Amino acid sequence: MGAHFVEGPIRKINMTKELLEKYLNNRCTTSEVDEVIGWMKQQSFFSESRELSKNDWQQLRDDDDFVSDEKLQLLLDKIHHKLNIEHPRVIALKRYSIINWISKAAAILLIPVLAFLFYTLSVNTKLANQIITVSVDSLEVVAPIGSRTVVELSDGSVVHLNYGSRMKYPQNFSGETRRVHLSGEGYFEVAHNPNKPFVVSAGQMEIKAVGTEFNVNAYPENIDIATTLVEGKVLLEKKVADHTSRQIGAMKPGQHVNFNINTGKIVSNTGNIDKYIAWKDGKMVFDNESIEGVAQRLSRMFNVDIQVENEAKEYKYTVTFVDEPLFQILELLTLATPISYKTLPRKKNPDGTFSKQMIIIEKKK
């Protein structure tokens, strides 16, 4: 008594990766299914094929970290399950010991092909992930004109960005420091990590902290860089040649420091610092602020160009505005001091865009 699997002369069947993928994903035609089953049966009898398959599988296991026995076993179980459902005659033949041997041989023959499939998919996935990581490793967030933005960094630190500010930062911090680059104004709530200082690079200055809260004002049009420390401790460093920096001082809570980028002069004061940080809560606090300082902050916030005539530059203001519209603020200023303002029509530029709204503040006549 015996069992015959192939009748007539043996025709060697070549298995392709594409055909095996179609079979595993239920996309084979009837003839293609028969071809896969025939290949599994036929290759079982070629001793040289079995030996070659074992050698190939061993080499793949030695050279590749992406293929696991668990994945291959799951896939082999799927193939066997499909065979049991679609070809019940295979089950009937299992009572013969030779069929058990053939099943094992067929499984061994499939291993190099499956290993190649897993290797290809895994490598492609890894390369894709590497490309994505590289493309988004350096991120930039921008706070549009007239709005504020809050971003949480990978280390848990939180940064508030003021109007028209931008910050560049890595997706994940690596190296000995947690470094970000600021242009504009930002309020930093730094997650504590004594082993990896947090560094804000702003123009010619670097502000270094471990775990603290501080504000940095470094708009590119300003002649100074201002730092306000709320709590904790920060070190101020000036950038020098060869990408190095030199420490110029340490700050204590409640201290505000201005660094003049033209002269290198440092001015420090302590006291009420709310006017320097209230912007993150939607407030504009002016404490004995000159009208030119008020005009500068309003210009940045509302993306307009406010110019102050010489006769009106003598006035100063102590006032707090909470999310007030521009022209309401201007009206309040005219009630507090003898000034007036006028708006000029916007001009069309050669490229089709329009200039900023121009507002002139002058002394009442």
Residues 119 and 159 in one domain: no
Query: Where residue 233 sits, what CATH number does that domain have?
Result: 2.60.120.1440
> What is the mean predicted confidence (pLDDT) over 280-291?
92
Interhelix angle 47-63/97-136, rounded to 10 degrees, is: 30
> What is the mean predicted confidence (pLDDT) over 29-43?
68
> What is the mean predicted confidence (pLDDT) over 11-25?
61
Residue 31 has a pLDDT of: 77
In a domain, 238, yes or no: yes
Residue 13 has a pLDDT of: 54
Short-list 330, 359, 357, CA closest to 342 = 359
CA dist 248 and 236 (Å) reads 6
Question: Which has the higher per-residue pLDDT, 32 or 342?
Answer: 342
Q: What is the percent of the chain with per-residue pLDDT over 70, rounded to a whole number?
A: 64
152, 173 contact by CB (below 8 A):
no
DSSP H or E run through 109 = helix 97-136
Residue 42 has a pLDDT of: 54
Choosing from 208, 242, 271, the residue where a domain stops is 271
Instruction: Please count the structural domains in the chain.
Output: 3
Residues 182 and 153 in one domain: yes
In a domain, 8, yes or no: no
Short-list 164, 182, 166, 187, CA closest to 304 = 164
Residues 61 and 168 in one domain: no
Q: Residue 209 in 3-state DSSP?
A: strand
Least confident span in 79-93, 205-219, 251-265, 315-329: 79-93
Residue 78 has a pLDDT of: 52
Least confident span in 4-8, 228-232, 255-259: 4-8
> What is the mean predicted confidence (pLDDT) over 270-284?
90
> What is the mean predicted confidence (pLDDT) over 25-51?
61
The residue segments making up the domain with residue 183 are 137-271
202, 168 contact by CB (below 8 A):
no
What is the tens place of the pLDDT at every residue in 148-160?
999 999 999 999 9
Residue 244 has a pLDDT of: 77
Short-list 231, 226, 233, CA closest to 185 = 226
Residues 177 and 125 in one domain: no
Residues 253 and 348 in one domain: no
Give me the phi and psi of 104, to 5 degrees please. -65, -40
CA dist 216 and 206 (Å) reads 10
In a domain, 331, yes or no: yes
In a domain, 277, yes or no: no
Residue 112 has a pLDDT of: 52
| Alpha-carbon dihedral angle through residues 347, 353, 357, 360, given to the nearest 10 degrees | -40
Residue 17 has a pLDDT of: 59
CA dist 50 and 55 (Å) reads 9
Residues 127 and 213 in one domain: no
Residue 30 has a pLDDT of: 74
Asked whether residue 254 carries a pLDDT value surpassing 50, the answer given is yes
Asked whether residue 296 carries a pLDDT value surpassing 60, the answer given is yes
Query: Where residue 331 sits, what CATH number does that domain have?
Result: 3.55.50.30
CA atoms lying within 13 Å on the CB side of residue 252? 3
In a domain, 297, yes or no: yes
Residues 75 and 151 in one domain: no
Q: Residue 350 in 3-state DSSP?
A: coil
Residues 153 and 165 in one domain: yes
Q: What is the percent of the chain with per-residue pLDDT over 90, rounded to a whole number?
A: 46
What is the tens place of the pLDDT at every residue in 172-181?
998 899 999 9
Nearest 5°: the CA angle 355, 356, 357 is 120
Asked whether residue 322 carries a pLDDT value surpassing 80, the answer given is yes
> What is the mean predicted confidence (pLDDT) over 288-295?
94
Residues 216 and 130 in one domain: no
Residues 28 and 98 in one domain: yes
In a domain, 6, yes or no: no
Choosing from 115, 136, 157, the residue where a domain stops is 136
Residues 292 and 201 in one domain: no
What is the tens place of the pLDDT at every residue in 191-221?
999 999 999 999 899 999 988 999 999 999 8
Asked whether residue 87 carries a pLDDT value surpassing 70, the answer given is no
In a domain, 9, yes or no: no
Residue 260 has a pLDDT of: 93
Residue 22 has a pLDDT of: 67
What is the tens place of the pLDDT at every residue in 91-102?
333 333 444 444
Q: What is the mean pLDDT of the chain?
A: 76
What is the tens place of the pLDDT at every residue in 325-365?
999 999 999 999 999 999 998 888 888 888 889 999 999 98
Residues 304 and 248 in one domain: no
Please tell me the chain's helix, strand, coil percentages from 3-state DSSP, rounded to the nearest 5: 40, 30, 30
What is the tens place of the pLDDT at every residue in 49-78?
444 444 544 544 444 444 444 544 555 555
Give me the phi and psi of 128, to 5 degrees please. -65, -40
Residue 33 — pLDDT band, cuts 50, 70, 90?
Answer: confident
Choosing from 76, 106, 136, the residue where a domain stops is 136
In a domain, 1, yes or no: no
